[in-house]
C-alpha cells in the first residue's frame, strides 16, 4: 500500500501567507441613472475582482440618499430602507448596497458641521464602513464615473504589490510629483531627482502637531533619513495608495488649504492634499484614526486633505502609484520638458498659486485622468471609441451632459476611425455613456 509521507506538522506549516481582504466601495447617489453601460461596468468589477478572487475583494455600492423625506434609518421596521432600495438601486445590486444619508453622519459625528455635504465629508461613509467591517484590511474608493480599459484585478494587484515594495524615505516628496517617462527616463532616475532636490532628507517619521500628541505610526529605525538606505518601509503595506499627486498645501496659495476646523487656536498644522480624488485606497488603521479624530476630538478637514494630513501627522506610509496617463495636447505642449514644467513645477518662490493651478488644470483637463468637465472630454471620447460607439465622424459629435461637444478625434487619432484597441488606462471622468440598442 502506498502511503503519503506527510507529517502532521507539514500540513500546517505552509510558507504561504493568507492575503487580507479588501473592500471596494463604489460611490453612488440617489437619482443616478443606471445605464446599460454603467451596469456592465459594475458587473465587470464584480467579475474581475470578487468572483475571480473568491472573495479577496468584496464590492459594495454605497448610495447617498439626499431626499430628507426618506427617513431610511429613523424608522426601524417601517420598511423605509427596503422601499428606498427598491426605488433607487437596480435589484441585481441590492445585496451589495449600503444606503446612508446626512442624518446618519450627523448622528455619528455630532460635533462636525455637515454643511457642504459629501463634497466636504466624503471620507465619513468610508470611516463608518471600516468601523463596522473590521475584517477588511483596507478600502478602495471608486467614483462611478471611473473606467478602466484593462482587467481590474491586474490593476489593483499591481498597485498594491508595487506600493508594498516602496520605501518610506522621501515618500512624501515622491508622492507630490508626476513620474514622466519621456522626461525622467526610468523610475530610478525620477527617485534620484527627488533625492537631489531634497538634500535634507525630507519628511522623516510623523510630523509633530499639538493636535496629535501621540502619533500612532511606527518610530523611524534611524535618527535621520540620511542614515537610511531606502530599506525602511519595504515590504510594508501602504496606508494610502493614491493615483494622483499628494501635494504640500502649506507652501501654496490654494484656497482650500484653510478648510480645517477644530484645531487649537494659533495652530497651523502641516497638511497634504490629493489633486484628484476619484480613486484612492485607505488602510483600516488610517480610517480608524480619521474616525476617532472627528468623533472624539471634533477635528475636521476638507475631504481632499483629511486622510493624507492624518497620515502625515501620524507617520503612516503613503504611495503615489504612477498610472499611465495620456494627454490631448493639441499643439500646446512642446515636448516632455514642457509637460514637466506644467505638471511638476510650482509658482514663484516655490509657491503653488491659484494662477499656476489654473494653467495646469487647463492642460490636465485634456488628459485621461482628471476631474473637470468644462473642456474637451478626452477620457470620455476615448472610452466611447474603445467601447465601440464611435466609428465615423458623424457619430462623435455628441453633446456631453454639461452641454459641451466632445472632441471628434483627439490627438493622436485625428485621421483614424473605428473601434480603438487601448492598453490598460484609468479614465476619468466618463459620464453619460449610453450603449446602442
DSSP state of 46: I
- pLDDT recorded at residue 324: 87
Residues 305 and 363 grouped into a single domain:
no
Residues 287 and 375 grouped into a single domain:
no
**Residue 229 within any structural domain of the chain:** yes
Per the rule left: phi > 0, alpha: psi between -120 and 50, beta: everything else, 235 is left
Residues 339 and 289 grouped into a single domain:
no
User: Low-confidence residues of the chain, pLDDT below 50?
Assistant: 1-13, 348-351, 355, 375-376, 391-404, 437
Last residue of a domain, one of 289, 323, 357: 323
Residues 258 and 288 grouped into a single domain:
yes
Q: Provide the 3-class DSSP secondary structure of residue 76.
A: coil
What is the rounded CA–CA span in Å between residue 278 and residue 124? 15
**Residue 432 within any structural domain of the chain:** no
User: What are the cell numbers at 200?
Assistant: 535634507
Q: How many domains does the chain have?
A: 2
Structural domain boundaries enclosing 420 = 335-427
**Residue 187 within any structural domain of the chain:** yes
Last residue of a domain, one of 275, 296, 323: 323
Residues 391 and 264 grouped into a single domain:
no
Of 351, 370, 425, 431, which Cα lies nearest the Cα of 399?
A: 431
- Cβ burial 253-281 (10 Å sphere, 16+ → b, else e): eeeebebbeebeeeeebbbbbbbbbbbbb
DSSP state of 267: -
Tell me which residue has cell 480599459.
149
Residues 242 and 384 grouped into a single domain:
no
Q: How many CB atoms lie within 10 A of CB 166?
A: 23
Residues 265 and 340 grouped into a single domain:
no
- pLDDT recorded at residue 19: 85
- Looking at 180-279, list the stretches that DSSP marks H as alpha helix, in order from N- to C-terminal side: 181-184, 187-197
Question: Could you tell me the pTM of the whole model?
Answer: 0.88
> Residue 105: which residues within 8 A CB-CB, separation 6 or more?
112, 114, 121, 124, 125, 128
What is the rounded CA–CA span in Å between residue 67 and residue 125? 17
Q: Is the peptide bond before 119 cis (omega within 30 degrees of 0)?
A: no
**Residue 11 within any structural domain of the chain:** no
Residues 236 and 381 grouped into a single domain:
no
DSSP state of 51: I
- pLDDT recorded at residue 31: 92
Measured on CA atoms in the order 263, 270, 307, 249, is the torsion positive or negative?
positive
Residues 174 and 269 grouped into a single domain:
yes
**Residue 5 within any structural domain of the chain:** no
Of 423, 83, 130, which Cα lies nearest the Cα of 292?
A: 130
**Residue 123 within any structural domain of the chain:** yes
Q: How far is CA 53 from CA 38, 59, 282, in A?
A: 22, 12, 20
Residues 82 and 186 grouped into a single domain:
yes
Residues 43 and 106 grouped into a single domain:
yes
**Residue 135 within any structural domain of the chain:** yes
Last residue of a domain, one of 301, 323, 345: 323
Residues 341 and 310 grouped into a single domain:
no
**Residue 115 within any structural domain of the chain:** yes
Amino acid at each position: 500500500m502506498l502511503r503519503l509521507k506527510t507529517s502532521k506538522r507539514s500540513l500546517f506549516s505552509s510558507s504561504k501567507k493568507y492575503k487580507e481582504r479588501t473592500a471596494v466601495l463604489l460611490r453612488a447617489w440617489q437619482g443616478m441613472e443606471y445605464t446599460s453601460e454603467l451596469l456592465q461596468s459594475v458587473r465587470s468589477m464584480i467579475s474581475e475582482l470578487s468572483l475571480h478572487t473568491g472573495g479577496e475583494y468584496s464590492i459594495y455600492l454605497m448610495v447617498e440618499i439626499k431626499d430628507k423625506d426618506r427617513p431610511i434609518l429613523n424608522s426601524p421596521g417601517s420598511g423605509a430602507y427596503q422601499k428606498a432600495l427598491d426605488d433607487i438601486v437596480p435589484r441585481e445590486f441590492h445585496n451589495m448596497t449600503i444606503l446612508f444619508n446626512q442624518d446618519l453622519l450627523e448622528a455619528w459625528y455630532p460635533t462636525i458641521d455637515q454643511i457642504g455635504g459629501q463634497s466636504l465629508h466624503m471620507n465619513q461613509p468610508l470611516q463608518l464602513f471600516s468601523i463596522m467591517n473590521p475584517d477588511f484590511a483596507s478600502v478602495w474608493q471608486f467614483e462611478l464615473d471611473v473606467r478602466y480599459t484593462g482587467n481590474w484585478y491586474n490593476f489593483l494587484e499591481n498597485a498594491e504589490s508595487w506600493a508594498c515594495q516602496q520605501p518610506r524615505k522621501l515618500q512624501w516628496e515622491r508622492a507630490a510629483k508626476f513620474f514622466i517617462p519621456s522626461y525622467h527616463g526610468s523610475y530610478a532616475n525620477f527617485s534620484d531627482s527627488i533625492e537631489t532636490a531634497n538634500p535634507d532628507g525630507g519628511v522623516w517619521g510623523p510630523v509633530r502637531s499639538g493636535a496629535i500628541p501621540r502619533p500612532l505610526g511606527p518610530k523611524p529605525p534611524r535618527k535621520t533619513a540620511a542614515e537610511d538606505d531606502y530599506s525602511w518601509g519595504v515590504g510594508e503595506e501602504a496606508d494610502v495608495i493614491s493615483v494622483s499627486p499628494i501635494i504640500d498645501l502649506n507652501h501654496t496659495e490654494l484656497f482650500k488649504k484653510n478648510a480645517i476646523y477644530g484645531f487649537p487656536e494659533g495652530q497651523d498644522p502641516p497638511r497634504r492634499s490629493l489633486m484628484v480624488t476619484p480613486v484612492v485606497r485607505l488602510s483600516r488603521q488610517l480610517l480608524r484614526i480619521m474616525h476617532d479624530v472627528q468623533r472624539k476630538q471634533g477635528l475636521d478637514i476638507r475631504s481632499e486633505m483629511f486622510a493624507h494630513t492624518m497620515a502625515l501627522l501620524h507617520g503612516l506610509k503613503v504611495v503615489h502609484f504612477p498610472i499611465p496617463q495620456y494627454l490631448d495636447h493639441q499643439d500646446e505642449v512642446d515636448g516632455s520638458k514642457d509637460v514637466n514644467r506644467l505638471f511638476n513645477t510650482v509658482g514663484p518662490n516655490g509657491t503653488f498659486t491659484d494662477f499656476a493651478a489654473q494653467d495646469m488644470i487647463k492642460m490636465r483637463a485634456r488628459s485621461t485622468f482628471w476631474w473637470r468637465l468644462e473642456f474637451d472630454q478626452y477620457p470620455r471620447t476615448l472610452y466611447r471609441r474603445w467601447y465601440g460607439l464611435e466609428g465615423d465622424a458623424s457619430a462623435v459629435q455628441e453633446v456631453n451632459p454639461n452641454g459641451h461637444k466632445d472632441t471628434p478625434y483627439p490627438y493622436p487619432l485625428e485621421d483614424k476611425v473605428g473601434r480603438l484597441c487601448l492598453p490598460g488606462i484609468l479614465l476619468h471622468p466618463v459620464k453619460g455613456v449610453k450603449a446602442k440598442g
